Amino acid sequence: MTDTVAELQMQLIELQTQIAFQEDTLSALDTVVTAQQRQIDQLTLWCERLMRQLDQVATGAAEPAEPELPPHY
């Protein structure tokens, strides 16, 4: 009977060890995924800005109608 209890204790310890490693791995993956999502959000914002600038250039709105003269003229 004591062999069975000792074996169950060893199995329990092994399972607890595996869970601890899995929790550590999940935490590391969560950190990576969060950083990647921030980067995706930033890249999406940059792409939207570039698309607006491209639209402005395509419609001619990016260039002023007349060149501005310096203030001393």
Could you read off the pLDDT of 8-58 as tens digits, one per residue?
A: 999 999 999 999 999 999 999 999 999 999 999 999 999 999 999 999 998
Residue pair 56/62 in contact (Cβ under 8 Å)? The answer is yes
Distance CA 58, CA 62 (A): 8
Question: Above 80 in pLDDT, residue 72?
Answer: no
Q: In sequence order, what are the residues at sequence separation of 6 or more whose Cβ sits closer than 8 angstroms to the Cβ of residue 53?
A: 62
**What pLDDT does 2 receive?**
84
Asked if 42 and 34 touch (Cβ cutoff 8 Å), the reply is no
d(CA 16, CA 30): 21
